[in-house]
Amino acid sequence: MHPNPAIALENQFCAHNYSPLPVVIVKGEGVWAIGDDGKRYLDMMSAYSAVSHGHVHPRIRAAAVAQIDKISVVSRAFYSEPLGNFLKTLCRISGFDSALPMNSGAEAVETAIKAARRWGYRVKGIAANQAKIVVADNNFHGRTSTIVGFSSEPDYKADFGPFCDGFTEARFGDIESFRQAITADTCAVLIEPIQGEAGIRVPPAGFLRELRALCDATNTLLILDEIQSGLGRTGKWFAFQHEGIRPDALILGKALGGGIMPVSAFVADHSIMDLFDAGSHGSTFGGNPLAAAVGLEALNVLEDEGLIDNSAQLGHYLVERLRAMNSPAIREVRGRGLWVGVELDRDARPICEALLAEGLLTKETHENVLRIAPPLSITREELDWGLARIERVFGQL
Ligand SMILES: *Cc1c(COP(=O)(O)O)cnc(C)c1O
């Protein structure tokens, strides 16, 4: 039995919608997460990219503390100081005109769905309540009842229906399937450029370019959910830059909160964003001064500290080293930047437990895929430390 009462308390009083590994994390320092027994774990999960900057980044912490000492929550019934600056920087980096700030990723996806439908009715001229959005199979866009309704994962939706109409599924990476799914009533394609929760699935080269051309030819918006893939995770600011395309709108979250708090945004040009008028959409906490101060510094740190180049370089190295292990248990190593899925011939959970004992935090996704996604601030030495332990665990299988 683990001696820490936090485990029993959480098991008794918290809903059982997760099955955590048996470790209690009490502190974080950069790429390290520290357990209640003082043991230091290399965090190779970084909270699904939410901790891309590392834990308690000193600059982001300082920005948060300075803002807390002034004011944290205003509501957008009034103007506040940090919001405009934050979104100006976000627009410069993403290359769009305007952003709508929210909190969780799922809320930003919901914002995108509303924007796409309004555009469908008011610009494309789709008949009332007929707009369709084409999504990919094995997608992950969050957990609201609308979003899980168009998920293909039975666990996410069992007995949560009835679900919302207006979504059509196509096969990820298969342009013909998207061509068939798009009709005159389609307002948008909503897709992850690389599917994270599905197991770091990278589509065939050229797929996004073909999808961009297909959307152009059919007057359909291309909306990319880069909540997990964006902000440097793949070795570029955004995954779409690997294919040299530009989406019509972008959904960001996770790392936008600098490892401190939830910050998300829907980002687009005026032609789409200005379809939101006063009263049409909102969020009590969205764009609050604390979130804006944290989000701005999160972007500045990615830029100033070269974290995106680091992700590209060390990501390449990580994939090479994992492939060179030549473990018979490994079917495929895939990914971009410091975002790697190791597909196994067996359940990944026991391997996550063995890695935990070695001092590594990882997490399985879809039973047989081991996800390796450390903070983008990881050094070569720290990565080597982790790889030595991964090699040891796989060597003993
Ligand atoms: C995590 C994630 C979401 C949902 O974000 P939450 O903050 O958990 O609501 C949506 N889309 C993608 C691609 C994600 O990885």
Give the start-to-end residue ranges of the domains of the chain.
Answer: 5-57+306-395, 59-304
Task: Give residue 348's pLDDT.
Answer: 95
**Sheet order of strands, 40-43 included:** 25-29, 32-35, 40-43, 360-361
Distance (angstroms) between ligand 1 centre and the Cα of 300 equals: 22
Assigned token pair, 71: 């004011």
Distance (angstroms) between ligand 1 centre and the Cα of 188 equals: 19
Cα 295–Cα 297–Cα 298 angle in degrees, nearest 5: 60
Q: Which atom of ligand 1 is nearest to the CA of 251?
A: 11
Distance (angstroms) between ligand 1 centre and the Cα of 227 equals: 6
Residues 62-110: tens digit of each pLDDT: 999 999 999 999 999 999 999 999 999 999 999 999 999 999 999 999 9
Q: Which residues are within 8 A (CB) of 188 and not within 5 positions of it... i.e. 6 or more apart?
A: 112, 116, 119, 120, 133, 134, 220, 221, 222, 223, 248
Distance (angstroms) between ligand 1 centre and the Cα of 113 equals: 14
Taking CA atoms only, the protein residue closest to ligand 1 atom 11 is 141
Please pick, among 124, 132, 254, 363, the residue that the annotation labels catalytic.
Answer: 254
Taking CA atoms only, the protein residue closest to ligand 1 atom 15 is 228
Residues with CB under 6 A from ligand 1: 48, 104-106, 109, 140-142, 192, 196, 225, 227-228, 253-254, 262
From 18, 111, 140, 226, give the residue whose CB has the most ligand 1 atoms within 8 Å, as the site to mutate: 140
Distance (angstroms) between ligand 1 centre and the Cα of 106 equals: 6
Distance (angstroms) between ligand 1 centre and the Cα of 105 equals: 5
Q: Which atom of ligand 1 is nearest to the CA of 262?
A: 7
Average pLDDT, the chain: 97
Residues 334-375: tens digit of each pLDDT: 999 999 999 999 999 999 999 999 999 998 988 899 999 999
Q: Which atom of ligand 1 is nearest to the CA of 195?
A: 13
Task: Give residue 286's pLDDT.
Answer: 98
pLDDT band at 2 (very low <50, low <70, confident <90, very high): low
Please pick, among 96, 167, 207, 225, the residue that the annotation labels catalytic.
Answer: 225
Measured between alpha carbons, how far is 315 from 329 in angstroms, rounded to an integer? 21
Residues 119-141: tens digit of each pLDDT: 999 999 999 999 999 999 999 99
Q: Positive or negative, the Cα torsion across 50, 56, 60, 65?
A: positive
pLDDT of residue 3 exceeding 80: no
3-state secondary structure the chain: CCCCHHHHHHHHHCCCCCCCCCCCEEEEEECEEEECCCCEEEECCHHHHCCCCCECCHHHHHHHHHHHHHCCCCCCCCCCHHHHHHHHHHHHHHCCCEEEEECCHHHHHHHHHHHHHHHHHHHHCCCCCCCEEEEECCCCCCCCHHHHHCCCCHHHHCCCCCCCCCEEEECCCCHHHHHHHCCCCEEEEEECCCECCCCCECCCCCHHHHHHHHHHHCCCEEEEECCCCCCCCCCCCCHHHHHCCCCCEEEECHHHHCCCCCCEEEEECHHHHCCCCCCCCCCCCCCCHHHHHHHHHHHHHHHHCCHHHHHHHHHHHHHHHHHHCCCCCEEEEEECCCCEEEEECCCCHHHHHHHHHHCEECEEECCCEEEECCCCCCCHHHHHHHHHHHHHHHHCC
Assigned token pair, 206: 């050229």
Assigned token pair, 76: 């957008």
DSSP bridge pairs for 28 = 33
What architecture (CATH level 2) is domain 59-304? 3-Layer(aba) Sandwich (3.40)
Residues of the chain above pLDDT 70, percent: 99
pLDDT of residue 1 exceeding 60: no
Confirm whether 236 is a catalytic residue: no
Confirm whether 225 is a catalytic residue: yes
Measured between alpha carbons, how far is 280 from 301 in angstroms, rounded to an integer? 33
Given a contact cutoff of 8 angstroms between Cβ atoms, the answer to whether 371 and 45 are in contact is: yes
Question: pTM of the full predicted structure?
Answer: 0.98
Residue with tokens 């290399």: 42
Measured between alpha carbons, how far is 349 from 355 in angstroms, rounded to an integer? 10
User: Which one is the CATH code of 5-57+306-395: 3.40.50.720, 3.40.50.300, 3.40.50.2300, 3.90.1150.10?
Assistant: 3.90.1150.10
Mean pLDDT, residues 306-330 taken together: 97
Parallel, antiparallel, or unpaired: how do β-strands 167-170 and 132-136 relate?
parallel
Distance (angstroms) between ligand 1 centre and the Cα of 394 equals: 30
Taking CA atoms only, the protein residue closest to ligand 1 atom 6 is 105
Confirm whether 36 is a catalytic residue: no
Residues 34-65: tens digit of each pLDDT: 999 999 999 999 999 999 999 999 999 999 99
Please pick, among 86, 96, 140, 178, the residue that the annotation labels catalytic.
Answer: 140
Residues 213-261: tens digit of each pLDDT: 999 999 999 999 999 999 999 999 999 999 999 999 999 999 999 999 9
Task: Give residue 276's pLDDT.
Answer: 98
Residues 137-159: tens digit of each pLDDT: 999 999 999 999 999 999 999 99
Q: Which atom of ligand 1 is nearest to the CA of 139?
A: 13
Given a contact cutoff of 8 angstroms between Cβ atoms, the answer to whether 283 and 107 are in contact is: yes
Given a contact cutoff of 8 angstroms between Cβ atoms, the answer to whether 127 and 183 are in contact is: no
From 151, 190, 227, 261, give the residue whose CB has the most ligand 1 atoms within 8 Å, as the site to mutate: 227
Q: Which atom of ligand 1 is nearest to the CA of 192?
A: 13
Distance (angstroms) between ligand 1 centre and the Cα of 124 equals: 28
Measured between alpha carbons, how far is 26 from 35 in angstroms, rounded to an integer? 6
Q: Which atom of ligand 1 is nearest to the CA of 147?
A: 10
Given a contact cutoff of 8 angstroms between Cβ atoms, the answer to whether 223 and 189 are in contact is: yes
